[in-house]
Amino acid sequence: MVSPDLLEILRCPVCVREAGKQGLLTLVKDTWLVCQDCTRKYPVVEDIPVMLIDEGDKWASVPADALPVPPPKME
């Protein structure tokens, strides 16, 4: 589980580069961080958020309610 303190400071790495976007993340199913701006989804594996842009891109089109729990192992 991601601590509330960590969730407050984490931001989507794509959105923080763009003007006007905050990249705020929402914890979904206790195992995914979903960007409120771009809908990229970042898995939380063994309590560690995987904030890689490639991972976020991979899950961007998957609806939040269809995300697998637990997230699949990274390749």
Q: What is the pLDDT of residues 16-67, one digit of tens each?
A: 998 889 999 999 999 999 999 999 999 999 999 999 999 999 999 999 999 9
Query: Which CATH number belongs to the domain containing residue 47 in this structure?
Result: 2.20.25
Domains in the chain, number: 1
Range of the domain at 23: 4-66
Predicted local confidence at residue 37, as pLDDT: 96
3-state secondary structure of 33: strand
pTM across the whole model: 0.91
CA dist 38 to 21, 41, 43, Å?
9, 9, 15
* 21: in domain: yes
pLDDT of 75 reads 65
Residue 72's identity, in one-letter code, is P
Residue 54, domain member (yes or no): yes
Q: Is the pLDDT of residue 15 over 90?
A: yes
**Is residue 33 one of the residues assigned to a domain?**
yes
CB atoms within 10 A of CB 38: 16
